[in-house]
Chain A
Amino acid sequence: MVDPSINKHGNRLDRLQLVVLTGLMFLGAAFVFSATMVNPLEATKAWYGQTWFHQVIWYALGFGAGAVICLVDYHVLARWSVVVYWAMIFCLVLVLIPHIGSMRFGARRWIDLGFFQFQPSEFAKLAFILALANFLSRPPEELRIPLNFWKGIGLMMLPFALILKEPDLGSALVLVPTGLMMMFVAGTPKRYLMKLVGAGSLVAALFVADILFAPPSLQISMQPYQRDRLLVYFGRDYTDFAPPNATPAELQRIHQQQLDDEYNVRQALISVGSGGLAGKGWRHGTQNALGYLPRAVAHNDFIFSVIAEEEGFVGSVIVLALYAVILFSGLRIAGQARDRLGKLVVVGIVTLIFSHVFINIGMNIRIMPVTGVPLPLLSYGGSSVLCSLIALGLMQNVYIHRKGY
């Protein structure tokens, strides 16, 4: 069974993916520009100091890093993956230590390197994929051994727990479908996975039920903002959770708190919805310009609502289509991979990127809770852009060293 495209393309890169990738980066730069230039402070900076230009620099750096990755056979990379994995775990522990990890928006996620706010969780996702792929690439028979199954789970739970501690629920959660999907593709017996998913769902359901319906005294302790986000997502009234002896002033304050928390979600929805079919045109969105969509998040976590407001349903579909091309062509690469290791790496990357896209866009249209997950390649942010491009480089790497070559 020989794919005709192999002969056609020879040793070269997957061009379609590259073209689409370039398109996404172009969109990203354009809308980071649109989202940030409405801020008069931003507009008065020199062009090389402006956010969109920083984003372009990150694209260039990320593209370079991706190209470098392509030069080394992924088998070599996989051999080093264990080292990288534990290095990243070390970073994740480091970031939790006060004075090393820097605090922003109530979360300790960054290590300040002066020129760059290094976010270990982004890189940990990649290290995790490589390490898990390396671990799962052993013969399928060995995967039937329960101990190996639990080892795989352990590889996933270690960064999961550390990232959750930061706290960064979104980044932690994307590890779960990625890991499970890789284990499934590797050939881990279905009954193990089914049991795990069943048990996980049960725990998650109990957890959500506890947050939503249990009296305050019985609730699992959680970061207040995370609890609030869940409450917002499930449309619960905060005042139901007020202490029984709350004064009217306190109830009023709690209600105000609810309005504030719902604010971002509501404004994102208004942005997306008011875009309509064709949108208002590039740089003509009002939600962002007037500051209803908070300026702090408009160009990163909520970049999609800026695109959707300015380019409408048409723009949203184009963005979805671009991601679809990248992901499905990624699956094609997985199908052509030389060995199970390559296939698993690509499946991991595809699932990771898709999880980001689904959670981020889903949060903009209120089908997912607000969790602060960036939209790969479009959201502003050095770590996210670098990781996305390195991941895509890995995918190309697998393509270059595909079977029959």
Chain B
Amino acid sequence: MLIFDELKKNDPQLRFVAVALAIGFCILLAGLWWVQIVSAREYRNHLETQSYRTVRIPAIRGKILDREGRVLADNRPRYNLNLYLGDLRKEFNASVNQSLARAHGAQRQEIAAQEKKLGRALTKNERKQFALSTEELTQLRTGARFRVADSIVSQIGGQLQQPLSLNATRFARDYDTRLALPLTILPDLDQTFVARYEENSFADSGTDLEIQSVRNYPLGTTASHLLGYVQRDESSVEGEDAYFSYRLPDYRGVVGIEGGYDSYLRGRAGAEAVLVNNLGYRQTENFWNQPEAGHNVVLTIDLDIQRAAEASLEQHRGPDARAAIVVMDVHSGDVLAMVSSPTINPNYYTGGLSPDENQKISAALADPKLRPQINRATQENYAPGSIFKPIVGLAALEAGLNPDALVDNPGYIYVGRRHIGDLAPPGQYNLRRAIIESCNTYFITIGLRAGIENVVRMAEKFHFGERTDLPTRQETKGVFPTLKQVKSSDWHDGDSANICIGQGEMAVTPLQMAVAYSAIANGGTVLWPRLVEKIESQDPTSGETPTIFPTGLVRDHLGVSAHNLKILHDTMLAETVEGTGKPAQVPGLQICGKTGTAEVMNEHNVKIDRTTWFASFAPYENPKYAVVVMVESGTFGGPTCAPIAHDIYEEILKKENTSASKVLAAAN
């Protein structure tokens, strides 16, 4: 090469210079190769971490719908008034410079005053004590920026006719830590303020409205226990980026359907990358991952029946009633209504209520007796009392009981040395009269005669004492003795007698009773209760096939004879025709039922309360619905619970008639 000619020449000094130059260039080349080729990835990562802030963008949460597609939970827009600090950079700088100039002016004046006093110029060191410290300077800057932001905020407040102010500490913190994100100055504007804001032009003020999606329960307390609630939670779930600089508000379902189906409802959060400059101000943004909307959950609940049950309960027992109602389709196991009282409006947890309402709910939550947070239909153990007697009767019938054989009731019964009272009047009782008048003596007698093992075996087929595998995270399995327990030496006839009348060592949930009565009604099939019909895409045009949960999932067969079931149905029908269940009667619908009043004992075996029940199914000829009503601290099952069941059956009948007429209309 031409330029290397000198190296060949006989000029050792120049050759030395050329070699030195060549070595120098090689060093630079090697250095550049190392930085730009070998370590390029490392430096690119550095670049990304310093100039990108990632923001977690929550997905739109799926809705919860009833079986006919009516909305139980959805999202409402929430308007936040935000201040975009990046747009105020100029104003900030101007204000900071002004403050600095003023401070320096004051400083000069002080120095001049001091010099005048001393009559000489100050030395460098003496001047130093007038200088501003780093903290003072920082304070000065923060204060200057705050004044700019605060004056804008109060100005907007004036135009919105709502006094607004900015919290200085919060402003300073947000400026330091989340400069790339807007600062919310007024959260959750109502419609009037949104309109006022839109009317006034705030184009250059650095403010804007931001729309956020907030969980909303349009029907308030309706089915609130079943729906559960959500909590603010922005943490990453599995399969999502784990590291974000910032996270926008998101919700996580805690219990109920919101909790159990949270992974379907919440969808997949997206990620946004915000490019920021060296001061942390936002430059541009772009999505790395778009959020994927959550799925809708369609429940088996029928909103009409649910609301009728709730309304009836409130009408008869008031809003503070401690009660539960379960309505079930006896053939499919679909839960058509599930009520628990007292309730909490789930909007409480997303801040959608007025301060008054919030206060009331806080008080209720703290009340040890009301305990509104538990779902009484599935989450609490209750003694079933007399509504368990048909099951004992069924076990006895299967063991060979003659339903017409008479048992003498003196008004009490001794089991061993234990005296058990009987509210049924003394006299001769067959199965029918014993059901109608809820005779303790009769059921203890036939139960003991059939043997407690047979009763336990029957209860095992009903799966008492076991969970029904609800997805709501609010379930107790109840209590029931096992065969091994009843055969042990610790088990006495007195314990068996208690079981025969639904007391003692056993406890159930209203849902378990609804499953049991459905099995009695449908000819002996014990079903898994079903709460969710399907999970489908929020977008009906997506073409995604919904996940449908199977209906009528069989858990067990009772293996009892149809004849015995028929006998039982007859006696239970008689209960509502001429027995204590009379108040449940609905014209045009034959209802089979059983009332119950269980005693609640404390640890010293002293009666402290009673649990009243009405468990039933209808229609008698071709049972379709099971309705179980439970009220804590009621008077008796008949007067307390049966009227509520009456209202529910009335609603069911009305619904059947309208749909039947619809079908007729369609046929015509």
Contacts and interface: CB of A to CB of B under 8 A. Distances in A.
A, B assembled together: yes
Contacts of A357: 28
Interface stretch (A195-203, A225-233, A316-324): A316-324
A210 B18 CA distance: 35
Contacts of A273: 35-36, 39-40, 42-44, 46
A365 interface: yes
A332 interface: yes
B25 A272 contact: no
Contact of B277 (A290, A351, A367): A290
Contact of B21 (A269, A290, A313, A331): A331
A290 B32 CA distance: 23
Interface string A177-207: 0000100110100000000000000000000
A46 B11 CA distance: 53
Given A276-B44, A332-B2, A354-B21, A290 B278 contact: yes
Contacts of A317: 29, 32
Contacts of A292: 50-51, 277-278
A99 interface: no
A12 B50 CA distance: 53
A350 B18 CA distance: 10
Contact of B278 (A269, A274, A291): A291
Interface string A300-335: 000000001000110011001001110111011011
Contacts of A329: 2-3
A180 to B, nearest CB: 11
B28 A308 contact: no
A37 B40 CA distance: 26
Given A273-B40, A274-B46, A335 B31 contact: no
Contacts of A253: 134
A217 B327 CA distance: 89
A87 interface: no
Contacts of A239: none
Contact of A272 (B11, B14, B32, B276): B32
Interface string B20-54: 11001101110111111101101110110011000
B566 to A, nearest CB: 83
Contact of B13 (A184, A312, A316): A184
B275 interface: yes
A316 B283 CA distance: 29
B21 A350 contact: yes
Nearest to A5: B2
B278 A320 contact: no
A313 B17 contact: no
A362 B43 CA distance: 17
Contacts of A238: none
Contacts of A358: 24, 27-28
A14 to B, nearest CB: 11
B101 to A, nearest CB: 20
Interface in B116-148: 134
Given A273-B35, A273-B43, A274-B43, A185 B3 contact: no
A150 to B, nearest CB: 21
Nearest to B40: A276
Nearest to A304: B32
A111 to B, nearest CB: 26
A328 to B, nearest CB: 4
B28 A332 contact: no
Contact of B14 (A277, A334, A354): A334
B664 interface: no
Given A286-B51, A290-B277, A181 B17 contact: yes
Interface residues of B, number: 42
Nearest to A17: B3
B418 interface: no
A292 B33 CA distance: 23
A367 B134 CA distance: 33
A317 B276 CA distance: 31
B3 A328 contact: yes
A291 B277 contact: yes
Contacts of B356: none
Secondary structure call for the A interface: helix
Interface string A327-368: 111011011000000010001001100100110011001010
B549 interface: no
B16 interface: yes
B16 A347 contact: no
A332 B33 contact: no
Contacts of A246: none
A365 B31 contact: yes
Interface in B253-304: 275-279, 283
A316 B24 contact: no
A270 B31 CA distance: 14
Contacts of A181: 17, 20
Given A274-B40, A328-B3, A347-B17, A367 B279 contact: no
A275 interface: yes
A184 B283 CA distance: 55
Interface in A257-313: 269-270, 272-277, 286-287, 290-292, 308, 312-313
A317 B30 CA distance: 11
A272 to B, nearest CB: 5
A292 B16 CA distance: 41
A332 B21 contact: no
A353 B3 CA distance: 17
B32 A331 contact: no
A251 to B, nearest CB: 14
B404 interface: no
A42 B604 CA distance: 88
Nearest to A324: B25
Contact of A308 (B25, B32, B51): B32
Contact of A332 (B6, B34, B278): B6
A313 B29 CA distance: 9
B419 interface: no
A3 interface: yes
Nearest to B46: A270
A328 B18 contact: yes
B43 A334 contact: no
B603 interface: no
Contacts of A350: 17, 21
Contacts of A332: 2-3, 5-6
A72 interface: no
B40 A277 contact: yes
B40 to A, nearest CB: 4
Nearest to A332: B6
Given A3-B5, A287-B47, A291-B279, A327 B21 contact: yes
Contacts of A354: 21, 24
Contacts of A5: 2
B278 A185 contact: no
A3 B34 CA distance: 39
Contacts of B279: 291
Contact of A365 (B6, B35, B276): B35
Interface of A: 1, 3, 5, 16, 181, 184-185, 187, 253, 269-270, 272-277, 286-287, 290-292, 308, 312-313, 316-317, 320, 323-325, 327-329, 331-332, 334-335, 343, 347, 350-351, 354, 357-358, 361-362, 365, 367
27 contacts: A1-B9, A16-B2, A181-B17, A184-B16, A185-B17, A270-B46, A272-B32, A273-B36, A273-B43, A273-B44, A274-B44, A275-B36, A275-B40, A277-B36, A286-B47, A291-B277, A292-B277, A313-B36, A316-B36, A317-B29, A320-B28, A328-B3, A329-B3, A358-B24, A358-B27, A362-B31, A365-B34
Task: Give the 6 A-B CB pairs with smallest separation, nearest first.
Answer: A273-B43, A328-B3, A291-B278, A276-B40, A313-B36, A290-B277
Given A5-B2, A270-B43, 12 more contacts: A184-B16, A269-B43, A274-B44, A287-B47, A290-B277, A320-B32, A332-B2, A335-B5, A335-B14, A347-B14, A354-B24, A357-B28
Interface of B: 2-6, 9, 11, 13-14, 16-18, 20-21, 24-25, 27-29, 31-37, 39-40, 42-44, 46-47, 50-51, 134, 275-279, 283
